[in-house]
Amino acid sequence: GLTLDEPARTVMNRSPTVATQTSTRESIIATMRQKRLHHIPVVDDNRHIVALETLDELIQTDIKPNAVVLMAGGLGSRLSPLTDDCPKPMLPIGNQPLLQTIIESFVEYGFRRFFLSVNYMADLVEEYFRDGSEWGIEIEYLRENERLGTAGALSLIRERQHEPLIVMNGDVLTKVNFKRLLDFHVNQRAMATMCVREYDFQVPYGVVRLQDQHILGIDEKPVQRFFVNAGIYVIQPEVLNLITPGQYTDMTTLFEAMIELKQETVVFPIREYWLDIGQIADYDRAKGEFKQVFK
């Protein structure tokens, strides 16, 4: 046998089974069952451990007290003529409305309380989902008589909230781990968390770096990286007090108000599948990828 003085490399596993930050819950569970594991470390792009998934936590769904607010009242003008007689969140993807897929994704992580903000063709949304009992959830509708914006619609929540709320646009298709998102927000002790997505933009020309009239260098078709708003947020209940009832307010405006007040706002980078269905090309892509991503 080996003594405690032996170097760790003599006993360590040089090819451990790991999950990445883009791994889905289903794929991690499948790997655990295939290899009879109870724990799998989650690593980032640099192979650094960032989390530990356990089988017990993955298969046990705790009911969350947190409410989910889904924005389903947009006009969807860029998806016309598809949205001429159907609200965007009700467009079929994979034989069911987009909004149903979103709701079922949250249900999978234990969320049972939902607010649906509705305006354009609200009756079609309400007739389909009703009170939510078919999905084992509770649905309350926030009816916008006039367009209030993503944050403005939150002023229609009458019942006092005691837990952080997840707010999400109703036109986003994603495999985000909502439990991990909520845990991150709580651990950061933030007033608000914004999910962001890395977006690469390649300049199609050679970019010339100058100082006065002198050329310092030329970067051929450089790639610039940005973080863009992914349309998913977690906010503390107190944030609702910053919203003026009846006033049109976007979520970006609300974040700017919190920043001005020196309140803690943080970002949660999304590395899982994410698609904002804003145009017909996005809708066609979602239909083509749905079976593979949401199998």
Give me the active site residues, please.
221
Helix (H) or strand (E) holding 135: none
Q: What are phi and psi of 206, to 5 degrees?
A: -75, 125
List own/partner pairs for 182-189 with CB under 8 A and 24 or more apart.
182/64, 182/66, 182/234, 184/268, 185/234, 185/266, 185/268, 188/264, 188/266, 189/264
* CA-wise closest residue to 49 among 8, 12, 17: 17
* CA-wise closest residue to 169 among 253, 79, 72: 72
Strands 223-235 and 192-202: antiparallel
29: its two tokens:
């569970």
Residues 6+ apart with CB under 8 A from 152: 243, 244, 246, 247, 248, 249, 250
- Do 9 and 2 touch, CB atoms closer than 8 A? no
21: its two tokens:
């930050």
d(CA 72, CA 76): 10
Q: How many CB atoms lie within 10 A of CB 105?
A: 19
240: its two tokens:
């609702």
* CA-wise closest residue to 71 among 152, 131, 136, 134: 152
